[in-house]
């Protein structure tokens, strides 16, 4: 089994390091980590360290660093503009998207969203839940890159960001679109560097919203003949993009790999 991943602010520079705080408590009290077990430390910015536990305290671990490596950022990067979804399906949407490899997420206040995030404490709490869900999903899937979650945006703000950022392409998932996502991704060519993927709410994207996004440069695409839920559509699209580009075929670059852990080298 792949060693569990623990996220830290910075990778340790020396041979020995302490894993304390929330990550240390989780390792000791929840995972019941023991001396001799292997684990991964990640900074969420592409850096990973293979480590072995040498000492277990009450709520912290001491580990010996075996190797350090860098995982290159995926290319093209994918930012997901995910419409707010009611209940725990919003958290499900960002959890699945994180496991499927999304690089950043923008919560989108679309016109037909059932969920409403206020600008006050309730909205802040909902955003914090998304961020906590993304962090847990990144650890579960052993991701070297932790997706960033921006502040919620309305449709006009989303269109303005799209115009300002000028990504290689922006795709709006829409059931009435004639353009298959496979064709749209194929048209990008090998030099595509960043994509914006837009997923609407349960009630769908309004005609006015679609027109606004198209005017900002987005293209309407479809995944297939079926209509997917707002909480699962992004994951299916990310899987398609992963297969149709080289996002899933890049090789891990290692700064230092002793013979002891060379067998752990793999592609991501």
133 touches 88 (CB < 8 A):
no
The pLDDT tens digits for 143-191 are 999 999 999 999 999 999 999 988 999 999 998 899 999 999 999 888 8
Q: Does the structure show a pLDDT above 50 at 254?
A: no
84: which DSSP letter?
Answer: P
Peptide bond into 76 cis (omega under 30): yes
Q: Enter the tokens of residue 11.
A: 């990778």
DSSP string, 206-234: -HHHHHHHHHTT-EEEB-SSSPPPTTTHH
> What does the pLDDT read at residue 256?
32
Q: What are the φ/ψ torsions at residue 74 (nearest 5 degrees)? A: -60, 150
**Higher per-residue pLDDT: 66 or 192:** 66
Task: Of 234, 111, 103, give the one whose Cα is nearest residue 173.
Answer: 234
Task: State yes or no: pLDDT of 258 exceeds 50.
Answer: no
42-97 tens-digit pLDDT: 999 999 999 999 999 999 999 999 999 999 999 999 999 999 998 899 999 999 99
- What was the pLDDT predicted at 248? 85
Provide the token pair at 77: 């990067």
Q: Which residues fall within 8 angstroms of residue 128, CB to CB, at 6 or more apart?
A: none
Confidence at residue 250, expressed as pLDDT on a 0 to 100 scale: 61
Bigger pLDDT: 212 or 247? 212
Q: Three-class SS of residue 47?
A: strand
Tell me: pLDDT of 140 over 80.
Answer: yes
What is the structure's pLDDT at 2? 87
- Furthest-apart CA atoms within the chain: distance in Å: 60
Average pLDDT, the chain: 89
Q: Give the model's pLDDT for residue 266.
A: 28
How confident is the model over 121-137, as pLDDT tens digits? 889 999 999 999 999 99
Mean pLDDT of the 248-252 span: 62
Per the CB < 8 A criterion, the answer to whether 158 and 106 are in contact is yes
Token pair for 267: 């592609």
| pLDDT recorded at residue 43 | 96
pLDDT of residue 87: 85
Question: Domains along the chain?
Answer: 5-72+250-264 (2.40.240.20), 77-244 (3.40.1280.10)
């Amino acid at each position: 089994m792949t060693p569990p991943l623990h996220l830290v602010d910075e990778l340790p520079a020396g041979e020995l390091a302490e894993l304390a705080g929330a990550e240390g408590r989780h390792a000791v009290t929840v995972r019941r980590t023991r001396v001799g077990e292997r684990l991964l430390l990640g900074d969420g910015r592409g850096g990973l360290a293979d480590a072995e536990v040498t000492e277990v305290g009450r709520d912290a671990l001491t580990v010996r660093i075996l190797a350090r490596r860098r995982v290159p950022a995926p290319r093209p990067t994918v930012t997901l503009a995910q419409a707010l979804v009611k209940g725990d399906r919003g958290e499900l949407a960002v959890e699945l998207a994180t496991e499927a490899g999304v690089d950043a997420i923008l919560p989108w206040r679309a016109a037909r969203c059932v969920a409403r995030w206020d600008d006050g404490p309730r909205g802040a709490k909902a955003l914090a839940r998304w961020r906590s869900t993304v962090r847990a999903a990144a650890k579960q899937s052993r991701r070297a890159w932790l997706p960033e979650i921006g502040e919620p945006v309305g449709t006009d703000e989303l269109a303005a960001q799209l115009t300002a950022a000028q990504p290689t392409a922006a795709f709006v998932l829409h059931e009435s679109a004639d353009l298959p996502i496979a064709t749209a991704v194929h048209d990008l060519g090998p030099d595509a560097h960043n994509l914006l993927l837009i997923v609407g709410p349960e009630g769908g994207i309004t005609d006015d919203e679609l027109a606004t996004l198209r005017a900002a440069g987005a293209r309407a695409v479809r995944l297939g003949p079926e209509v997917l839920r707002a909480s699962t559509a992004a994951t299916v699209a990310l899987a398609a993009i992963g297969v149709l580009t080289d996002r899933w075929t890049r090789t891990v670059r290692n700064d230092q790999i002793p013979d002891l852990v060379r067998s752990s080298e793999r592609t991501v």
